[in-house]
Amino acid sequence: MNHTCPRCHRALYDRHLKACGYCDTPIPEDRQYAPHQIAELDQTLAELNMQRWQQEVDADRRRNHIVIFADGGSV
Ligand SMILES: [Zn+2]
């Protein structure tokens, strides 16, 4: 499905919009996201955020380990 504005062809960045955020053209229903797609996207986004958070935590842990080794030399 093509989630772009029929007039300016920009991506519909907000899936809840009923009109284009750039040129205010009403979005035909077949270009709007269906409720189940919105649910899927929300799920994907939540998983991505969780992964990103986990990566940051892991990176912090690695940094802290490096600091401990560099400072004290003790394990
Ligand atoms: Zn537009």
Judge whether residue 58 has pLDDT over 60.
yes
**Separation of 37 CA from ligand 1 center, angstroms?**
21
20 and 38 part of one domain: no
Instruction: State how far the Cα of 26 lies from the Cα of 39, in Å rounded to an integer.
Output: 22
**Separation of 33 CA from ligand 1 center, angstroms?**
16
Average of per-residue pLDDT across 22-28: 90
pTM equals 0.46
49 and 21 part of one domain: no
- Provide the mean pLDDT of the chain: 83
17 and 44 part of one domain: no
40 and 67 part of one domain: yes
**Separation of 14 CA from ligand 1 center, angstroms?**
12
41 and 26 part of one domain: no
Number of domains in the chain: 2
Q: Which range marks the domain in which residue 60 is found? A: 34-71
**Separation of 46 CA from ligand 1 center, angstroms?**
28
Residues with CB under 5 A from ligand 1 (ion): 5, 7-8, 20, 22-23, 25
29 and 39 part of one domain: no
